[in-house]
């Protein structure tokens, strides 16, 4: 394994943050918005000095949603507004006035993906008309943690229907309930899935923070192409009860934000034991309630970073940004070590097999536990509903993945057990763990993926290659992405991933890179590339 030499790139410095104001796309977007690019701590300072309140901040975001999500460019990131948002904000303002502060998230508006249960008047549908009207009386663990932290659950975000586990020909960011979400940088480009609405909402300053979920790529890909920070935690760090499932092996919720610091704040609020999710028992002694102490501007100094060269070479613009990013890391004192080949030993087919079995098992359990508010009680009911309402539900693509999953047996099936063993071994002890142990690495770095592709409801997603989400996703290990720059005005992310429970290390190196590079830029709302 060769050490990467990038001494000749010491002079490369990325552009700093820059706000584009009054750019015309499908409509003029006001980028003089008062809360544009604001951080959690800046919002707290405004509430502390009385220049803003939780209510006034919430009102501003609701106005912003009306202005550019539901009209203007019509980003379509929001699937439903929380009708209780202002009353929640009022109550949090009363607590503040009484001297009761719950922490840095007190009064902060957060958007939550529409596959996460909230005990309020909002539905939880995974974007599917089959679950329209589904309102629960019990918070998911994520919603419970957010309320304890004092956030205002502002709205639910649109997503790829069934978290992009319905068809091989799907368009990311499209759901039968919510329609097609647009990329705010170039409006005819795709926002990636399945946490498309959460990513777009954060990127376009429709909220302070958002929650996404990932099975494989659904936090990091939309974060990358929408120019924000996304964290896919180690599976078990964040409780999953009350989240519509795909895979018990790979599913997790995670924070999405405009800065690493804000993502770290939100991550700390989400951790902890979930009595209805046994995987969280593994996090005891390994999780933290506060990740801010791990953020160090000197965090790259002396770090051994493995460079995943196999994840490069699919786009010259992305390669140029990656070389520049490596130069920044080396200048900050990191030692760059080339990693030969894919860090996951096979596992693609095995991982999909696992998802098929676990989706059927998990969704049947989730639906059976719901009350009379849901008209479908099993995966087979969902499939039948979709066939009966084909015109509304399947105008562009079908449901072949749902049908394949329905054909599978239970979790005692030999095919499932063998696939699970092979995938975990190949991604963990023969994959990430082996590579990192052999090379004594602190983290592995790679481009998160390529620029956003043109949305195409006829042919579906055409990603054009690239992407490093699979190794950490299959292993259930942590993965952080943050802005690396742009290709033709389309954002591209830089990924750091590594061993289980290594969020502190990944946050340290990601924060150091962010502070040295400053690559986050606000959206441009152009109609298409070149306009």
Task: Give the CATH number for residue 147.
Answer: 3.90.1300.10
Catalytic option among 128, 157, 172, 218: 218
Predicted pLDDT at 518: 97
Per-residue pLDDT, 495: 98
How much is the average pLDDT of 478-483? 98
Residue 347 resides in a domain? yes
Question: What pLDDT score does 71 carry?
Answer: 86
DSSP 301: T
Strands 152-157 and 229-232: unpaired
Active site residue 171: no
- Count CB neighbours of 80 within 10 A: 18
Sheet holding 335-339, edge to edge: 78-81, 152-157, 109-113, 209-214, 252-257, 229-232, 479-487, 490-497, 443-447, 304-308, 335-339
Closest CA to 308 of 481, 519, 511, 495: 495
Q: Quick check: 207 and 61 in contact, CB under 8 A? A: yes
> What sign for the dihedral angle of Cα 29, 30, 34, 38?
positive
* Domain presence at residue 20: no
Contact 143, 88 (CB under 8 A): no
Burial of 7 (0-12, 13-18, 19+ CB in 10 A): exposed
pLDDT tens-digit map of 264-299: 999 999 999 999 999 999 999 999 999 999 999 999
Identify the three-state secondary structure at position 491: strand
Record the tokens describing residue 26, joined without a space.
Answer: 């499908």
Decide if pLDDT at 436 tops 70.
Answer: yes
| Catalytic residue from among 157, 170, 194, 287 | 194
Question: Within a 10 A sphere around the Cβ of 45, how many other Cβ atoms?
Answer: 13
The runs of H, that is alpha helices, within 370-448 are 379-388, 390-393, 400-406, 414-427, 433-439
> How confident is the model at residue 21, as a pLDDT?
29
pLDDT at 72: 84
Q: Is the pLDDT of residue 17 over 70?
A: no
Secondary structure (3-state) at 264:
helix
C-alpha 142/C-alpha 145 separation (Å) is: 5
Coil/strand/helix, residue 184: coil
Cis peptide before 253 (omega within 30 of 0): no
* 220 assigned to some structural domain: yes
Per-residue pLDDT tens digits for 450-476: 999 999 999 999 988 789 999 999 999
Rg for the chain, CA atoms, rounded? 22
Q: Tell me the per-residue pLDDT of 333-361, one tens digit each, with 9 for 90 and over.
A: 999 999 988 898 767 799 999 999 999 99
Q: In which residue are the tokens 């306009």 written?
A: 531
Whether 531 is covered by a domain: the verdict is no
Q: Which residues contact 412 (CB under 8 A, 6 or more apart)?
A: none
List, for residues 174-192, the tens digit of each pLDDT value: 999 999 999 999 999 999 9
**For residue range 510-525, what is the model confidence (pLDDT) as tens digits?**
999 999 999 999 999 9
Taking the C-alpha atoms of residue 291 and residue 40, their distance in angstroms, rounded to an integer, is 14
Give the C-alpha distances (Å, rounded to integers) separating 486 from 217, 293, 446: 19, 30, 15
Residue 266 is part of which domain span?
A: 7-13+27-517
The DSSP letter of residue 283 is G
263 three-state secondary structure? helix
What distance in Å separates the CA atoms of residue 260 and residue 262, rounded to the nearest whole number? Answer: 6
The 3-state DSSP composition of the chain as helix, strand, coil percent (nearest 5) reads 40, 15, 45
pTM: 0.94
Q: What percent of the chain has pLDDT over 70?
A: 94
- Give the count of domains, the chain: 1
Tell me the pLDDT of the chain averaged across its residues.
93
Q: Report the C-alpha gap between 223 and 179 in whole angstroms.
A: 20
Q: What is the mean pLDDT of residues 228-243?
A: 98
Indicate if the pLDDT at residue 5 is higher than 60.
Answer: no
Q: 238 with 252: CB under 8 angstroms?
A: yes
User: What is d(CA 91, CA 81) in angstroms, rounded to the nearest whole number?
Assistant: 18
The string of pLDDT tens digits covering residues 188-231 is 999 999 999 999 999 999 999 999 999 999 999 999 999 999 99
In a domain, 388, yes or no: yes
pLDDT tops 70 at residue 8 = no
Instruction: Report the pLDDT value the prediction gives residue 29, as an integer from 0 to 100.
Output: 75
Alpha carbons 107 and 194: distance in angstroms, whole number? 27
pLDDT at 485: 98
pLDDT in tens, 28-85: 576 789 999 999 999 999 999 999 999 999 999 999 999 999 888 899 999 999 999 9
Spatial separation of the C-alpha atoms in residues 353 and 409, rounded to whole Å: 11
- Say whether 218 is catalytic: yes
Inform me whether the pLDDT recorded for 10 exceeds 80.
no
Per-residue pLDDT tens over the stretch 382-421: 999 999 999 999 999 999 999 999 999 999 999 999 999 9
Burial 323-351 (b: 16+ CB within 10 A, else e): ebbbbbbbbbebbbbebeebbbbbbeebb
pLDDT digits (tens, 9 = 90+) for 305-326: 999 999 999 999 999 999 999 9
Q: Are 223 and 267 in contact (CB under 8 A)?
A: no
The pLDDT of 98-105, averaged and rounded, is 98
HSE-up of 380 (CA within 13 Å, CB side)? Answer: 3
CB atoms within 10 A of CB 217: 27
| 4: CB partners within 8 A, 6+ apart | 307, 326, 330, 336, 337, 338
In a domain, 404, yes or no: yes
Asked if 483 and 472 touch (Cβ cutoff 8 Å), the reply is no
User: Pairing state of beta strands 479-487 and 490-497?
Assistant: antiparallel
pLDDT at residue 99, rounded to an integer: 97
Q: Tell me how crowded residue 460 is: count the other CB atoms within 10 A of its CB.
A: 16
Q: Is residue 351 part of a domain?
A: yes
Q: Quote the pLDDT of residue 28.
A: 54
pLDDT of residue 346: 66
In a domain, 525, yes or no: no
| pLDDT (average), residues 159-166 | 98
- Give the rounded percent of residues in the chain with a pLDDT score beyond 90: 89
Residue 16 has pLDDT above 70, yes or no: no
Distances, alpha carbon 27 to alpha carbons 6, 30, 281, in Å: 43, 10, 49
């Amino acid at each position: 394994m060769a050490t990467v030499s990038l001494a000749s790139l010491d002079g490369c410095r990325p552009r700093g943050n820059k706000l584009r104001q009054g750019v015309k796309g499908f409509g003029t977007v006001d980028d003089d918005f008062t809360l544009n690019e604001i951080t959690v701590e800046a919002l707290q300072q405004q509430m502390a000095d009385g220049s803003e309140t939780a209510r006034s901040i919430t009102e501003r975001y609701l106005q912003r949603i009306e202005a550019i999500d539901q009209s203007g460019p019509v980003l379509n990131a929001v699937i439903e507004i929380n009708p209780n948002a202002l009353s929640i904000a009022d109550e949090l303002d009363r607590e503040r006035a009484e001297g009761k502060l719950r922490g840095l998230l007190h009064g902060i508006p957060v958007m939550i993906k529409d596959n996460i249960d909230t005990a309020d008047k909002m539905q939880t549908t995974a974007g599917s008309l089959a679950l329209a009207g589904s309102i629960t009386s019990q918070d998911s663990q994520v919603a419970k943690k957010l309320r304890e932290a004092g956030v205002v659950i502002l709205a639910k975000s649109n997503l790829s229907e069934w978290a992009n586990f319905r068809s091989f020909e799907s368009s990311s960011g499209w759901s039968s309930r919510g329609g097609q979400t647009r990329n705010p940088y170039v409006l005819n480009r795709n926002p990636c899935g399945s946490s498309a609405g959460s990513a777009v909402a954060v990127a376009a300053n429709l909220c302070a923070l958002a929650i996404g979920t990932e099975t494989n790529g659904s936090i990091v890909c939309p974060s990358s192409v929408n120019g924000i920070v996304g964290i896919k935690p180690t599976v078990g760090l964040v409780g999953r009860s009350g989240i519509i499932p795909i895979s018990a092996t790979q599913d997790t919720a995670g924070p999405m934000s405009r800065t690493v610091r804000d993502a770290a704040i939100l991550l700390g609020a989400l951790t902890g034991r979930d009595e209805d999710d046994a995987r969280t028992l593994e996090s005891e002694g390994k999780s933290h309630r506060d990740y801010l102490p791990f953020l160090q501007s000197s965090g790259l100094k002396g770090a051994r970073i493995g460079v995943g060269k196999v994840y490069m070479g699919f786009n010259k613009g992305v390669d140029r940004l990656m070389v520049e990013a490596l130069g920044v890391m080396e200048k900050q004192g990191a030692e760059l070590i080339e990693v030969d080949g894919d860090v996951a030993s096979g596992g693609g087919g095995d991982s999909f097999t696992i998802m098929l079995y676990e989706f059927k098992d998990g969704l049947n359990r989730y639906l059976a536990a719901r009350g009379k508010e849901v008209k479908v009680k099993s995966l087979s009911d969902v499939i039948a509903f979709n066939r009966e309402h084909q015109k509304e539900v399947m105008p562009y693509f079908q449901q072949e993945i749902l049908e394949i999953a329905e054909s599978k047996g239970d979790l005692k099936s030999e095919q499932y057990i063998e696939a699970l063993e092979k995938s975990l071994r190949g991604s963990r002890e023969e994959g990430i763990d082996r590579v990192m142990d052999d090379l004594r690495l602190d983290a592995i770095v790679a481009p998160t993926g390529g620029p956003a592709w043109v949305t195409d409801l006829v042919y579906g997603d055409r990603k054009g290659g690239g992407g490093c989400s699979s190794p950490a996703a299959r292993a259930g290990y942590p993965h952080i992405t943050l802005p690396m720059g742009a290709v033709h005005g389309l954002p591209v992310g830089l990924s750091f991933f590594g061993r289980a429970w290594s969020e502190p290390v990944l946050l340290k190196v990601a924060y150091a890179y962010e502070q040295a590079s400053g690559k986050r830029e606000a959206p441009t709302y152009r109609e298409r590339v070149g306009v």
